[in-house]
A and B are shown apart, each in its own frame.
Chain A
Amino acid sequence: MAEISIADVTKVEIHPAIGIARVGDSDEYFIGPEVPGAVPEPPGNTLETKFKDAQGRVKRQAARFRCFGYDDHGKYVELTGKAEVTIKWEVTLANKKAAAPVFPDGEERRNKGQQEKDLIIAPGSRGIVGTKTTTPPAPVAFDNGRVKFTIGTVAKVIDKIYLGELRTDENGCLLVLGGRGLSQRHPGAKLEETFNNANWCDDVSDGPVRAEATIKVGGAERKFTAEPAWVLAAPPKFAPEAESPTSLWDQIMHAFGVKAPARPSYVHDVFPILQSPRTMKGVSQASAGHHGWRHPVTDEPTRRRVFKRIGDPTKNGTGGTDSLMPQLTELTKEYPSLTPRQYEIMKKWHAGTFDNDWKAEWGYDRPPFASFPITPDGLDRAALHACVGAAFFPGIEGGRFLIEKKDGKPKNWKTPYPRLRFASHVKPGDVTARMAIPWQADFYACGPVWWPAPRPNEVVPRNKTNYVAWDRNVSVDEGMINKWSQLGYVLRDADGRWVEVARSLPSPTARELTRVVHEVGAAVSGPEPLWPDVGRLAADLAGAAVLSFGQATTEKERPHTWPLWLTELDGELTVEIRCADLDRLEVRLAPPMGPALAPGDFGLVTSRADGRLELRVELPFHVQAGRYARAGLWRVDVSADREVVYQFAATADSLITFPAVTTAGQDGSISARVDFTGAPISDGTAVVQPLSPELELEEVALRSEGATGAAADRVAGQVAIQKAEHLRIQVTGTSPMGHPFVRERLLRTDELP
């Protein structure tokens, strides 16, 4: 479309209609995608420094807004960047999460009983003037947010909350940056579930973007007020090039009833649907070796075969053959599926009814988006295309708010597609209000097959060949609060391989893994119902994968915590506690996420008799709404109101066992060997602690044998002790998916070969 003259402008619009910023803990930022399907290209010479800065902090994604002037025929010219144009931008941001209805049922409000005004972070509006200039104005920050949380009588004010800032670029375009990814809480608040944690706040936000454009042509000055656009400051997207099968744009098109084109364009309609699966192997192990087709996919055998695998949304996601794609988690219907509009496009593609507008010189991977023109419609779609459109439970950037209907019409929109403007009742903070609070809780919980593009499931680290869990070593949901920015980005290297880069989260050391804060006696003894001696305990634990054991005495005011490190190879967790005064003990089993479980809780098989309490939980454990706990740091908390002696043993039904532990007596000394052969682990080391009734003897670390390097399958060493009746062998290691573990064995020395 030929540009119109600025003099002919009669109306001004802001695009994108909905811009997407993303939080980050770095001062640096990059511009979000501006052409549908394009990948952000932050400056950075290496993959490591593209999306993170030199200190390893996550760069923020800025939402860039432009103004376009239209004539009476719908033709337009971009105003931003024109010397004749000055734009007064105004943005309002708010975070209403802590005062939003509880997700999902919404019958009550989050933080019920606390005043709504105390719960909403509303720093108000900020303005900035955009003109063509070589020195853009200083940033204007939304840095006076405030909430007050009250637990009982204890109030906590969190102030100076920073939700983001406004900048302009050299063309006078508005840049909106979001928060730092900093989630805060009342000191008494705990992270107890996935969606609605009380007395927590985060720094995502949303709100309107306004513009008043002044155009000076030949001494005449005209002012235009644009219809507001909107900005969402959302969580990061850790695989910027991966695409969700159904994007936010797709879901909104469906909600608005926008029909599929009569004759779809390969580039604009078909490519996005076929590109998403091509990117999935970067973030999901199950996709490895699949979706290897190349653009443009025009041959009949591939069209027929691929179409067969797509679930039919008009048949509740069934209707294809084999496994039904896309295989994502969906709770509101039996099977996930593309939107009916997307499915219709695929149907036409399958039938050969599409325009193959792919150019041969583009190769087979993706169009050269950088050379595509920036258009108002393209800006609208590009921003929403890079966001998650299914499943909204509750979603990542936005959720059901965007597609809710009233009387069959979009409820929250004044002018739906193609204008995409919200209704006047929509206020700052409304769009993100019902997302999880804090966002990190849901981000941790939404492992396998929720939203693998922003939140990868399994990844291949650079210079490695095997998949590992992307969230390895986060260990528990609270870990995501502080460690999210240490997680890796998934990008493509020069050879086109998907690699995880820029990860700085270390593995826990063996010391950290085996550390127990309270005092533990490994040499157990006592009258019934306690294990009378180590020998009896050893006999009971023989053959099991032992996670931890010992004897302890409860302390007033100080609960004991037994850490249990589990992996993807563990199937059932059993905890046994023996105590003569069992009723005095309060015992809780805390999975890596979600609420701690009390004996008798649903899902926790409990038996209690004769001073023995046994708790059993099947893994993976369903925490809530399709979120499962398995690998990570589980905890058993034990407390009592007085000193009580108790014994503890935790075992797992596990593929990690050490059947070939052998020790040999030799002149009173013992040589120990832990043989990992046959255990499907990534690496491991062992420590031997001789147990003696008289004294606790020093531990001896076993050294790797042979030259097998990191994948040592055997460690051995001499234990120079003569009196120990029992050996405690403590093995630490890493599972194939990268999760740390601790396993123990208890052996009698007088029975050694």
Chain B
Amino acid sequence: MAILVDTISAQLTVPEDDRDITWLRESLQAAIAVELATIPPYLYGMWSIKDKSQEVYRHIHAIVMQEMLHMGLACNLLSAVGGHPRISAAALHYPAKLPGGVRENFPVYLEGLAAAPNKPGDVVKKVYMEIEMPEHPVAFAPTDGSGGRETFPTIGAFYQAVKKCVNKLSPQFGGTQQTARAIGLFKIAKLADANKAIDLIIDQGEGRPETGPGTLEVLPADQSPAKVAHYYRFKEIWTGHHLKYNTAQHKWKFDGPVMKRPAVYPLEKLGASGVPSPSAELKKKLKECNDTYHLVLSDLETAWKTGREDDMDQAVDRMRNLEDGAAELIKYQVGKGLPKIYGPEFTPPPVPRADTRASAGRAAALTD
């Protein structure tokens, strides 16, 4: 994710007047990567839950769907302004480190959910809430050297910059785009669509800080913060309590009804080199998951090249293979009684990364 953060930071250092169509396309490609980056960690945690009918499973599932929607919207936006979404190349190698001024080396890694709420080491707190935290979003730029918290651009600020640029350039919208009814993905045909898409990403992904003016504390009773932003949904999961509006104090608090932490498989945290010394059979199952993941990414890339509905359908169909492959992988390890159990590795596709290097190079140049 370091490349990502660098790219986004670099993009934001370009003076507004110099932000042209190329800047816009590069920014939207970075947005695709940001949205994609969140999906494997959430899936890994979601698949550690044994019973799919559990509330926590459904919550994470809903968030994953929204991240997919955001990624799809970023792809449509990029296509709409004449770019070509690169999806395979956008995949990250986990754990991915976030270099940061305030919280250095905040890592994004793959690990199953903790067995109980409120555990300080729970991936929900350490990764999910950190990724989605309104004040410290996934991509804050450490490169301007000011060190002041307010000056770090948030992911929201990044999307605001993208929105501003789209409106400034008001380009001709076209390109091959995709729709997906299941997640509400729509096409970008005019400026209003572009603004709607970006606003939606900001609203769902960014949300409001917990404290301070204009924040959670002043959110009215009829507007649950958990419906507004992912961070609060994750915090409900972590604390094990629903948000509840306290009418006496006139604010939302995490002391509502219990949100039961479901039974989980203790999926180990994955290191940089993946599952350590797997047996041949386990290796085969891990490979199947990785291969399927790569196919999902390339299917999606194809879908945005052709704009055909059945290409999108195939990508979605393959996502279900990934889910099933993960279940098989876990079932196998549990059945074998292995001391440590892992989920899919989500290794990035072994494709030539020339494009990524080029854009990283350009990003570096811009930073310089």
Contact = CB atoms under 8 A, between A and B. Distances in A.
A285 B318 CA distance: 20
Residue with the greatest number of chain B CB neighbours at <10 A, chosen from A293, A305, A465, A496: A305
A304 B328 contact: yes
A292 B296 CA distance: 12
A288 B314 contact: no
B321 interface: yes
Interface in B260-314: 288, 292, 308-310, 312-314
A415 B128 CA distance: 67
B344 to A, nearest CB: 12
Interface residues of A, number: 23
Contacts of B193: none
Interface in B23-70: 52
Interface stretch (B7-15, B87-95, B177-185): B177-185
Given A289-B181, A294-B314, A496 B321 contact: no
Contact of B321 (A285, A290, A301, A466): A301
Nearest to B181: A288
The prevalent SS among residues of B at the interface is helix
A465 B320 contact: no
Given A301-B288, A466-B181, A497-B309, A292 B315 contact: yes
B177 to A, nearest CB: 12
A302 B310 contact: no
A301 B292 CA distance: 8
Interface string A414-431: 000000000000000000
Given A288-B181, A292-B315, A496 B310 contact: yes
Nearest to A293: B317
A466 B185 CA distance: 12
Given A292-B310, A497-B309, A302 B328 contact: no
B90 to A, nearest CB: 22
B316 interface: yes
Given A301-B325, A304-B328, A293 B308 contact: no
B57 to A, nearest CB: 13
B355 interface: no
A308 interface: yes
Given A301-B325, A305-B321, A308-B324, A292 B316 contact: yes
Nearest to B291: A301
Given A301-B288, A304-B328, A466-B181, A289 B321 contact: no
B123 to A, nearest CB: 25
A495 B186 CA distance: 18
Contact of B317 (A291, A365, A466): A291
B310 A293 contact: no
A305 B324 CA distance: 6
Interface string B232-264: 000000000000000000000000000000000
A203 to B, nearest CB: 39
Contacts, number: 52
A495 B179 CA distance: 14
Residue with the greatest number of chain B CB neighbours at <10 A, chosen from A288, A289, A304: A289
Given A292-B315, A301-B292, A304-B328, A495 B308 contact: yes
Contacts of A302: 317, 321
A495 B314 contact: no
Interface in A426-477: 465-467
Interface in B301-353: 308-310, 312-318, 320-321, 324-325, 328
Nearest to B183: A289
B288 to A, nearest CB: 6
Contacts of B312: 292
A289 B313 contact: yes
B299 to A, nearest CB: 9
Contacts of A285: 181
Interface in A281-303: 281, 285, 288-294, 300-302
A496 B308 CA distance: 8
Contacts of A305: 320-321, 324
Nearest to A495: B308
Given A290-B317, A305-B320, 7 more contacts: A291-B317, A292-B312, A292-B314, A292-B316, A293-B317, A305-B324, A495-B309
Interface of B: 52, 179-182, 186, 288, 292, 308-310, 312-318, 320-321, 324-325, 328
28 contacts: A285-B181, A288-B182, A289-B181, A289-B313, A290-B313, A290-B316, A291-B313, A292-B312, A292-B313, A292-B314, A292-B315, A292-B316, A292-B317, A293-B314, A294-B314, A301-B288, A301-B321, A301-B324, A302-B317, A302-B321, A304-B324, A305-B321, A305-B324, A308-B324, A466-B181, A495-B308, A496-B309, A496-B310
Report, nearest first, the 4 A-B pairs whose CB atoms are least far apart. Answer: A292-B313, A292-B317, A289-B182, A305-B324
